[in-house]
Structure 1
């Protein structure tokens, strides 16, 4: 059976939210990675954009798990996860220079099984090896404005084309642009590729071009107008954030530039939204 990253990531992607006490809630997106501890102990890690958690002032956030029922239906069953210590300090791990966060969690057994193996995160050579560049199509999962695909709470799948050049190496270009409709609530969602253009002669590993390219961290704005362009942080920085979970002194990359549009600004793709 061919492993379908699209379907697997749909199962691994969750809505994150925290009520703010004034009738609104902060909403974002996260996804689960299977990242065993150094001693081999199984571990499920929630990955999202750092600003999603940073904007949640309370000690606990809700993770939108979904439970499969025997009759084929699904039940939306959000559970809480502690994100701040008693003094209000964050208990998640953040990348020191990129908008990436990770926190080890205890997920329901179904979700622990759904977590994506860490080796599906793109590596330093993934883009060059697979000849990924401007115009290639990628997919993104998220909860735009806190909306789900259905009552079961599954994320909404969108697609867009790489809209900047060059897109690698990540050490020089830590982010790249993706041409798709971005809305508040999309922040932290995975951006990934599941199909290779068969016309690319000589592309390595063409039979299995499935990988997580990165996560959506911002959107592009000009004069307060959203340009429907997403800013994606390379998966390299997810790798580095996972390493920081085990070793706060692990080496990290200091990148030299960011993707962007001259004259425009980057804005958060997460905000407070009215509850349903």
Structure 2
């Protein structure tokens, strides 16, 4: 435990993918939360404060809220940031060496499966993103519960260089139509997409078994495309309110879009999506 987390306690040892990790909590009830917001951190102490502040302002969903913060080898003051919210949020915190976004997100899902057995939803929120409205989380959970869904996908606003853009990436019922999903994936593969799939805005049922593939890029799009094309009947789309404000990360995003890995992963995803949809077309 770092000095910055000295006020935390209620420690538990948790087996995650065969590795034993020790996690601490700001209060004992954090372990029993029914809705868990999973925040993965890697050298993001600055934006993490805004992320946690947006969680603190959320209307509490039914069953209680817990926040799981997993640090993936940070070298900055992330723990200081988390410590400032110790008395405002029910936090569970641990450190791991994951090494990639997909492994970090999968570690969070496995952690909840193993150690937070009361959880009925795991909601993703990246450390440099924020919830769009104070109702976003509760609305997503309520929709999923009402529909008896196993996943919920929302839409997002876009932020670049600290400025909220006019362009949005909403979630609509069109996402439940294979032809529309293929059209979006084709434009992503060709590098012409105005918006990609709103994959950052995902809630999953714990112990449903879904995980992010180890892709060089777009691992979240691979999972969401799988859900939309192969498990549409078990999910729900949150059209309103928008779920999160997604940070485009400026120069980093621009550089990624020029990388071979970025393009190759999206091309491979489009090819896989066509293979997924082909048997459905044959059945019709």
- Fold shared, TM-score > 0.5 on shorter chain: no
- In the superposition, the TM-score normalised over structure 2's length comes to 0.28
The structure that is strand-richer by fraction is 1
The structure that is helix-richer by fraction is 2
